[in-house]
Amino acid sequence: MGERARTSHAAMGLPIGKMVVCENGFERGVDDFSEVHCVKRALSLARERGALVIGMVARYHPQKDHKAFLEALSIPADTGQDFVAVLAGTGLTKENKPLCDQLERFGLGEKVVLLGELKQSSSLYSRLDVH
Give the residue-averaged pLDDT of 105-114.
92
Helix 66-78 / helix 97-105 crossing angle, nearest 10 deg: 30
Asked, for residue 83, whether it belongs to a domain, the answer is yes
Burial class (CB in 10 A: 0-12, 13-18, 19+), 76: middle
Tell whether 98 and 66 lie within a shared domain. yes
CATH number at residue 117: 3.40.50.2000
Asked, for residue 49, whether it belongs to a domain, the answer is yes
Task: Tell me which residue of 79, 87, 65 sits closest to 107, measured CA to CA.
Answer: 79
Burial class (CB in 10 A: 0-12, 13-18, 19+), 63: exposed
In the prediction, which pLDDT does 95 show? Answer: 96
Tell whether 35 and 10 lie within a shared domain. no
Asked, for residue 131, whether it belongs to a domain, the answer is no
Domain assignment of residue 20, given as a range: 1-27
The domain tally of the chain equals 2
Tell whether 11 and 69 lie within a shared domain. no
Asked, for residue 130, whether it belongs to a domain, the answer is no
Per-residue pLDDT of 7-51, as tens digits, reads 888 899 988 887 777 655 555 454 554 555 656 766 777 778 888
Whether pTM > 0.85 for this model: the answer is no
Tell whether 79 and 92 lie within a shared domain. yes
Asked, for residue 97, whether it belongs to a domain, the answer is yes
